[in-house]
Structure 1
Amino acid sequence: MSQSAYIKLVKGSQDQELTLPYIQSTLLRYREQTAKTGEQLGWDYAEAAFPYTIESSGDERWFYLKGINGHYKHMIMGPGKTTSISGEEVPCIQVVLTDDATHGDKAKANELCRYMAKTLQAELTMFNGRTIYYNPRK
């Protein structure tokens, strides 16, 4: 059975609208940052930190990350709408791990979700159902 995590743009989040190119650019920014970290360390960290290629799905609703080695298969990402803790409908990024996902995929998905949620100052509902709040709350 597939598992999903949701990065929800709630009140106080940096943005209130999501598009497929915006999500992809956030992932590319992550890849750039990890590559620069690797340069500083003298190690090719970019491939270890982001072991995927971004593949189009053919429609404009979602895309998938395809693993570049045997430890990673793939994960699916796309914008959507979901209900926040307060009960209102909010835009979100849904990250889906399919049945054949590896432990590496789940670990990377958790890492990418935390990065994107922190960048967007969003509310993150993890694969295990727990919620992490990166948005400013009062």
Structure 2
Amino acid sequence: MSDHAYIKLVKKSTQQDITLEELKDIFKYYQTITTKTGDQLDWGYGDAAFPYGISEVPDSDDNWFYLKSNGTSTRYKYIVFGVGKETIEDSEGNETLQSYIQVILPEGATHGDKGKANEFCKFLGKKLQAEVHLFNGRIMYFYKR
């Protein structure tokens, strides 16, 4: 089940560029808010909402990291995240660089991973006001059009 999704930072996004460290900070923020929600509900929602730990990919040139299951459930294994730039052509024919976040479900990923990856894509899209290209080919627009 190797599959890809993209979060593209368009002109109307809250930021035009993103680094791997900024992406990791967003995931730490996600962990914090879900843990606080769990505290309010007196339930371990933080562990259920984010059943992963952030792991580095050796020799990735700071372009990739992966979320590896923390072992609390067999429903989850791993999701890979990367950042990059692509050249796009705008409506006037000018070429510009556009930053994106790539989400990869590698071979061996579970359906639980795919569900969480979709959830994370939507969260990142809302947080960054970006254009999200989901695994099924659909596009969601979280920026003002």
The size of the alignment, in residue pairs, is 137
Residues 8 and 84 of structure 1 are in contact (CA less than 8 Å); yes or no, is this contact kept in structure 2?
no
1:80-104 deviation line (CA, Å, top 9, x unaligned): 1246696864100000001211010
**Structure 1 letter corresponding to 2:69:** G
CA distance in 2, matches of 1:12, 1:28: 24
5+ residue gaps, structure 1: none
Aligned to 2:10: 10
Deviation of 1:136 (Å): 1.0
Higher mean alpha-carbon deviation, 56-65 vs 87-96, is at 87-96
> Are 1:124 and 2:126 matched, yes or no?
no
The alignment's C-alpha RMSD in Å is: 1.7
| Aligned equivalent of 1:90, options 88, 93, 98 | 98
Q: Percent identity?
A: 47
1:51 aligns with 2:57: no
Q: 1:79 to 1:42 in 2, by over 3 A?
A: same
TM superposition score normalised by structure 2: 0.89
User: Is the CA contact (8 Å cut-off) linking 1:62 and 1:78 kept in structure 2?
Assistant: yes
Give the TM-score of the pair, scaled to structure 1.
0.93
Residue aligned with 2:48, SS: helix
Q: Which residue of 1 aligns with 2:83?
A: 79
- Residue aligned with 1:13, SS: coil
Q: Secondary structure at the match of 1:43?
A: coil
Letter in 1 for 2:81: M
User: Aligned pair in 2 of structure 1 residues 13, 109: CA closer, same or farther (>3 Å)?
Assistant: same
